[in-house]
Amino acid sequence: MSSNLSKIILEDFLANSWNCVETLVKEIDTFKEEKRKSVELYHFKDGQKNNVTLNGSKFFLRSSVEYANPQLTVEDIQGIIATRLLEVTANYLQQRGLHKPTPQETEEISGLLRYPPAGMVVSFLLNTDDIEADRYSMNPLKGSIIESGQSAFPVATVKTENLRIDEKFVQKYEGSLFCRREIDNIERHLKSCNNSYVDMVDAVKYEHLSRLSEAFGIDLCIYAMRLPLTPMQNEDSEGLLHHIVREVHKDYQAVEGVYRGMGRSMKNLTTLLTVPHSPKGYGSKRAARGRIYFDGVKLKNIKVDYKTTLLYPNAIDPADVSLAQADDTFTVDGEKLVNYNFKETPSSPQFFLYSLASPENAVIWHGIGAFGASELLKSYTTTRLACSTGSLFKDLPEKYGLTIRVPLQFNLLPKYIWFHPVHRNIDASIGCIQNLKDLADIGMKMEHLSTEQYIRKQE
């Protein structure tokens, strides 16, 4: 059955996403190995975290999963499978010349999908650890996340000692958002994760990925990287992410340049380029309100208010909206950001800034235009273009061995995002799907996004 599933998905992918394969193969044919430092990634096996170091000259293809829930969704799995299909097919054709695979070659590619990445293109997961633990009202730990006072904490700092399964919530959504086996796995890993929420989530997801690798006939246990808080906690004040925070706050002109790339006006200065965490532990970007103040061209301070805020509903019950409970007001002196030290002033930079620390040469987005945010993509693309032309962060190559370019960007077509065959929600856990062939039959349809389409016009 597993070989049938991988073949069904691969054949649909080759028939409907050939432009993506062609684009990637042509790109790696002209790819010049970057002299960047080695890339530190990790994976979990048997509940234990294992660090791995990869050669920085590889071509890195990025996907992602969320920390907003421990269970894997059908959308998560589709993204990982899409990444592996693109990676393995591109590596195969890069060695043999670009051409549409014959039926025999399709069988060979299907066989290669069973093994870990091996070639110029390496797929990996970028997992953002600055979001809320129940961002989309689909976390089976929901009640205790709120009761423990951690609903507005960034997941990197959430502790598990007071977390427990919310049985009332689970019963409401069993079969549509979770299945009982997943809940049992979460309970088991809660007891052995050393009080770390993100470790618990990764352990649960990798265990499930291992089982699904057998079911699909595709190795889904690809390596991962956490950004931004885990590396910010570990790097010294001269590290890359510290440097980015300092540079964007150094004066009025620096903030103005980044605002321009975001399509924001300098009139109100209410968009924070990094969101300072509250002394009470809050770090939710959605619950935070702020304003930047200048004294002439010098950054004077940033005022931050955290207020209880609605987050997002799950797809089954639009009235069931998750919550970030917070209440705090404080001011951060401008010098704390101009001479930034995370240990003194913990904060969460905006995604389009901290993702500069990701080694990605190509990325896969999920449903841009329907489920994905086009405006965020424009900020991401415009910022990277500014880096590549030297108008932003000029010294990254010299200081950090980084040459920032706009990655190739691929998008899972919104119309063909995988969903629950009965409830038709994309946030269903993979464990709710009785027959995985229902997902395989939807196919794997992806498009290449042109860079020009997502460059924000500068005034």
- Residue 307 sits in the same domain as residue 433: no
- Residue 121 sits in the same domain as residue 16: yes
- Residue 239 sits in the same domain as residue 216: no
The angle subtended at Cα 347 by Cα 341 and Cα 349, nearest 5°, is 105
Burial class (CB in 10 A: 0-12, 13-18, 19+), 319: exposed
- Residue 387 sits in the same domain as residue 285: no
Q: Provide DSSP, 212-263.
A: HHHHHTS-----EEEESHHHHHHS-TTSHHHHHHHHHTSSHHHHHHHHHHHT
- Residue 257 sits in the same domain as residue 340: yes
- Residue 291 sits in the same domain as residue 404: no
In the prediction, which pLDDT does 36 show?
79
The count of structural domains within the chain is 2
In the prediction, which pLDDT does 37 show?
85
Q: Which residue among 296, 319, 352 closes a domain?
A: 352
Domain presence at residue 116 = yes
In the prediction, which pLDDT does 402 show?
86
pLDDT tens per residue across all 459 residues of the chain: 555 899 999 999 999 999 999 999 999 999 977 777 899 999 999 999 999 999 989 999 999 999 999 999 999 999 999 999 999 999 999 999 999 999 999 999 999 999 999 999 999 999 999 999 999 999 999 999 999 999 999 999 999 999 999 999 999 999 999 999 999 999 999 999 999 999 999 999 999 999 999 999 999 999 999 999 999 999 999 999 999 999 999 999 999 999 999 999 999 999 999 999 999 999 999 999 999 999 999 999 999 999 999 999 999 999 999 999 999 999 999 999 999 999 999 999 999 999 999 999 999 999 887 765 788 999 999 999 999 988 899 889 888 988 889 999 999 999 999 999 999 999 999 999 999 999 999 999 999 999 999 998 765
- Residue 211 sits in the same domain as residue 77: yes
Distance, CA of 269 to CA of 91 (rounded, Å) = 46
Q: What is the dihedral of CA 231, 236, 237, 238, to 10 degrees?
A: -100
In the prediction, which pLDDT does 28 show?
95
Single-letter amino acid code for the residue at 206: Y
The per-type count for the chain, helices as H runs and strands as E runs, is 16, 13
Domain presence at residue 154 = no
Answer whether 0.75 is exceeded by the pTM: yes
CB–CB of 87/80 below 8 Å?
Answer: no
Domain presence at residue 161 = no
Single-letter amino acid code for the residue at 256: E
Of residues 141, 233, 153, the one with CA closest to residue 193: 141
In the prediction, which pLDDT does 459 show?
54
- Residue 113 sits in the same domain as residue 40: yes
Q: Which residue among 352, 369, 403 closes a domain?
A: 352
Distance, CA of 178 to CA of 181 (rounded, Å) = 9
Could you list the residue range(s) of the whole structural domain that residue 371 is in? 2-132+206-225+359-454
Instruction: Dump strand ranges (E) for 314-383.
Output: 321-333, 347-349, 362-366
Domain presence at residue 160 = no
CB–CB of 342/233 below 8 Å?
Answer: yes
- Residue 311 sits in the same domain as residue 391: no
CB–CB of 402/240 below 8 Å?
Answer: yes
- Residue 212 sits in the same domain as residue 63: yes
Distance, CA of 325 to CA of 280 (rounded, Å) = 12
- Residue 106 sits in the same domain as residue 215: yes
- Residue 380 sits in the same domain as residue 313: no
Token pair of 296 as six digits:
């002439």
Distance, CA of 100 to CA of 123 (rounded, Å) = 22
